[in-house]
């Protein structure tokens, strides 16, 4: 039978190798990240043309995005107003119960509490359904806008011979920012 002390050196050696492997893996990961960060700089240094677009600004400022926002607001306004009305009614019922609670009979108080509870459940259900429907429609509308944005970026990149167009960056020189061009192209 093998004793625990005989296995212990192997376990210790295994943990040392695991530690070394982890360090090597971290080192390789760091090199990979550094290489990826240097790629745009290298591309620029080799005469490649690099551009940048701010997708958040496009989804906020472009004509299709503004139109979609207005469309969504008008489409969901009546449901939002209904939810606000229900929330105000629920708040009013809570206030009435607080005010009248001490003088109500036990059965009337329980009846009002049950009514308030039902109103609250109904309000939460309507809010959840509203949010789900709004998110679904927003994803539909803005999904089409993102497709339109990508097509506009592709056209601009081909027309102006861009080798690389980035959508996310820590810092950007304004001379490589083509966001305004994309917004204008989407407005046509």
pLDDT tens column, 53-78: 999 999 999 999 999 999 999 999 99
Check whether 100 has a pLDDT greater than 60.
yes
Predicted local confidence at residue 102, as pLDDT:
86
Measured on CA atoms in the order 138, 139, 143, 144, is the torsion positive or negative? negative
- Give me the count of residues in the chain: 188
Predicted local confidence at residue 188, as pLDDT:
67
pTM over 0.85: no
Measured distance CA(87)–CA(119) in Å, rounded: 9
Check whether 115 has a pLDDT greater than 80.
yes
Q: What architecture is domain 50-187? A: 2-Layer Sandwich (3.30)
Return the minimum-mean-pLDDT range out of 27-36, 38-47, 74-83, 154-163.
27-36
What is the distance of C-alpha 90 from the center of its chain?
31
Predicted local confidence at residue 48, as pLDDT:
86
Measured distance CA(73)–CA(168) in Å, rounded: 29
Q: What is the pLDDT of residues 118-165, one digit of tens each?
A: 999 999 999 999 999 999 999 999 999 999 999 999 999 999 999 999
Q: What is the pLDDT of residues 164-184, one digit of tens each?
A: 999 988 888 899 999 999 999
What is the helix (H) or strand (E) element at residue 51, kind and residue range? Answer: strand 50-52
Measured distance CA(149)–CA(143) in Å, rounded: 10
> How big is the chain by its Cα radius of gyration, in Å?
30
Measured distance CA(49)–CA(51) in Å, rounded: 7
Q: Where are the domains of the chain?
A: 1-43, 50-187
**Residues 40, 164 contacting (CB under 8 angstroms):** yes
What is the helix (H) or strand (E) element at residue 70, kind and residue range? Answer: helix 63-100
What is the helix (H) or strand (E) element at residue 95, kind and residue range? Answer: helix 63-100
């Amino acid at each position: 039978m093998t004793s625990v002390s005989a296995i212990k050196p192997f376990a210790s050696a295994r943990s040392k190798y695991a530690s070394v492997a982890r360090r090597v893996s971290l080192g390789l990961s760091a090199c990979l990240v550094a290489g990826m960060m240097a790629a745009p700089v290298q591309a620029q240094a080799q005469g490649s043309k690099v551009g940048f677009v701010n997708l958040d600004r496009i989804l906020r400022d472009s004509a299709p995005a503004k139109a979609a926002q207005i469309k969504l607001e008008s489409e969901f306004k009546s449901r939002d107003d209904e939810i606000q009305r229900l929330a105000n009614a629920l708040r009013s019922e809570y206030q009435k119960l607080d005010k009248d609670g001490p003088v109500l009979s036990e059965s009337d108080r329980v009846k009002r509490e049950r009514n308030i509870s039902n109103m609250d459940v109904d309000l939460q259900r309507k809010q959840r359904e509203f949010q789900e429907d709004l998110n679904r429609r927003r994803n539909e509308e803005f999904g089409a806008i993102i497709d339109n944005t990508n097509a506009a970026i592709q056209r601009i990149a081909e027309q102006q011979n861009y080798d690389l167009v980035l959508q996310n960056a820590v810092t950007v020189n304004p001379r490589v920012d083509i966001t305004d061009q994309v917004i204008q192209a989407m407005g046509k």
